[in-house]
Amino acid sequence: MILKLYNSTTSQKEDFKSISPNIVSMYCCGPTVYDAPHLGNFRTFVFYDLVKRVLIQNGFEVNQVINITDIDDKIIDKVNSGAIGYKELTAKFNDMFLQHSLSLNIQEANQYPKTSDHVEAMIGFIKALIDKEYAYNVDGNIFFDTEKYSKYGKFVNIENIDRLESEDDGLGKKNQKDFALWKTWKEEDGDITWESEWGKGRPAWHTECAVLATQSLGKTIDIHCGGVDLKFPHHENESAQVEALLDSVFSNYWLHSEHLILEEEKMSKSLGNILNIGDLLNQYSAETIRLFLLSSHYRSKIYFSDEKLSDSSKMIDKINRFVKSVGLDTLDHNGDTNPSGDYLRFVESLNDDLNTPEALGIFFDFINKKNKKIHEDSLSEEDIEESKKFILGFNSIFQIIHPSVLIDEEVPEEVQKLAFIREGMRDKKNWEEADRLREEIEKMGWLIEDSESSQKLVRKK
Ligand SMILES: [Zn+2]
């Protein structure tokens, strides 16, 4: 089966081909560790996880790097505000990022390189760019010279550059398009500084990622991912440095996920409309949040609302009831040797540029079909086997079935007794009393699912 991915460099879906036959190198721009992450950040991180899981489903081994940006203006500003030291601040939010990633069932990356551990390599990289005359020094600030690099404009039309975001103004760069590779020390930087042959200072963000990516994965990588707001200038500038210096293609595929929108505004900290992921995890299960994020296509905007999260929660209840109905007792997915037609269509949707809403639709149609059989008492052994396989394949991507769902909870004696009485009422067609007993049982935390010949007790979530 062919995996198709939308490549931002060509603005179209392309067949995915890796450089090495079975291994995919994947670089993902990680968090800037200065503040608590919000749901918008984690939309991007769950998207990285989706890409990785679909690659694994396609038989690839994935070598994934997520960097930790721990040298940045926002970090310096926060340290200068006085409440917390540099090391303490960056360690705190680095840990928080890893902890929330774990909570949201995001697979661990192979490496999480921190900017501050690789400043020497960044200095060497900048020096090489100066030697090749792709960079110049103005009073200790080093800039990339976009005039010298004819391929600048991978993601944008540079004729319209005047209307695009401009950075590092006022530092003496020659051209509006040029960007900083190294920023010279200022008093407010305090101790957050490194020695270089151009004096004290620190690497700039675009250089940090360019060096961490090539250092950990080589000069050409398979897939580079990020949120759509990183396309320009961050990815443009990362790519320009690497391709100018190494004369190679930096990444064969560039994948970008869209924004999460709250009240018509893009969710980013600068706009102040923050939905702290830690707070959300206190209100909703990780599975609910994950399903909410994956229920939209990664290239579509997601609009946040409590209503949508509660819809996701109901969808999870339905999936869990189905998992119990077919008696699933493990979540270990060992690949699928004999997939059904429905499951193949599910995989095809994911291979069509990670179409999660379509894949979810196929999964729910499948559940509805099998639930109908359950109610008609006609679910066969093959149906059960097919369902188990589909659930495991589904969960290997979506990761929204909590292991506790598998453990068959003992039904309390009192509930069993009422259910027994209710069954008698059903036999006598005393619907009124049967309904009253159903309500009573529900108040005790159990749901009754009726089929034509029997009833089944399911724990209410
Ligand atoms: Zn980056």
The runs of H, that is alpha helices, within 255-355 are: 277-283, 286-294, 306-325, 341-351
CATH value at residue 176: 3.40.50.620
Query: What's this model's pTM, rounded to 2 decimal places?
Result: 0.86
Cα separation, 18 vs 60, whole angstroms: 9
* Residue 198 belongs to a domain: yes
pLDDT tens digits along 54-63: 999 999 999 9
Distance 209 CA to ligand 1 centre (A): 5
Cα separation, 112 vs 114, whole angstroms: 6
**Residue 153 and residue 14 share a domain:** yes
* Residue 2 belongs to a domain: no
**Residue 287 and residue 249 share a domain:** no
Distance 396 CA to ligand 1 centre (A): 27
The residue among 313, 320, 376, 439 whose CA lies nearest residue 447 is 439
Q: Does the pLDDT at position 134 exceed 60?
A: yes
The tokens describing 375, both together, are 């109610």
pLDDT computed for residue 284 by the predictor = 87
pLDDT tens digits along 276-289: 998 888 888 899 99
* Residue 28 belongs to a domain: yes
Q: Does the pLDDT at position 331 exceed 90?
A: no
- The residue out of 388, 405, 422 marking a domain boundary is 405
* Residue 269 belongs to a domain: no
Distance 18 CA to ligand 1 centre (A): 21
Q: Are 192 and 71 in contact (CB under 8 A)?
A: yes
* Residue 82 belongs to a domain: yes
- pLDDT tier at 334 (50, 70, 90 boundaries)? confident
What are the CA-CA distances from residue 165 to residues 69, 95, 422, 427 (Å)? 21, 32, 68, 72
pLDDT computed for residue 421 by the predictor = 92
Distance 421 CA to ligand 1 centre (A): 63
Number of domains in the chain: 3
- pLDDT tier at 405 (50, 70, 90 boundaries)? confident
Distance 227 CA to ligand 1 centre (A): 10
- pLDDT tier at 328 (50, 70, 90 boundaries)? confident
Distance 148 CA to ligand 1 centre (A): 23
**Residue 437 and residue 349 share a domain:** no
Distance 207 CA to ligand 1 centre (A): 9
**Residue 49 and residue 192 share a domain:** yes
- The residue out of 257, 286, 306 marking a domain boundary is 257
* Residue 253 belongs to a domain: yes
* Residue 268 belongs to a domain: no
- pLDDT tier at 320 (50, 70, 90 boundaries)? very high
In the structure, ligand 1 is a single-atom ion and the residues with CB under 5 Å from it are 29, 209
**Residue 388 and residue 452 share a domain:** no
**Residue 444 and residue 366 share a domain:** no
**Residue 250 and residue 290 share a domain:** no
Distance 275 CA to ligand 1 centre (A): 23
Q: Which residue has the higher pLDDT, 66 or 156?
A: 66
**Residue 325 and residue 248 share a domain:** no
Q: Does the pLDDT at position 166 exceed 80?
A: no
Distance 214 CA to ligand 1 centre (A): 12
- The residue out of 257, 292, 308 marking a domain boundary is 257
Cα separation, 356 vs 89, whole angstroms: 36
The range of the structural domain enclosing residue 348 comes to 277-405
Q: Amino acid letter at 285?
A: S
**Which of 71-75, 251-255, 365-369 is predicted least confidently?**
71-75
* Residue 65 belongs to a domain: yes
- pLDDT tier at 42 (50, 70, 90 boundaries)? very high
**Residue 143 and residue 85 share a domain:** yes
**Residue 222 and residue 297 share a domain:** no
Cα separation, 107 vs 53, whole angstroms: 8
**Residue 208 and residue 343 share a domain:** no
Distance 81 CA to ligand 1 centre (A): 26
Q: What's the whole-number mean pLDDT along residues 430-454?
A: 84
Q: What's the whole-number mean pLDDT along residues 69-74?
A: 94
**Residue 77 and residue 218 share a domain:** yes
Distance 287 CA to ligand 1 centre (A): 28
pLDDT tens digits along 341-386: 999 999 999 999 999 999 999 999 999 999 999 999 999 999 999 9
Q: What's the whole-number mean pLDDT along residues 98-108?
A: 96
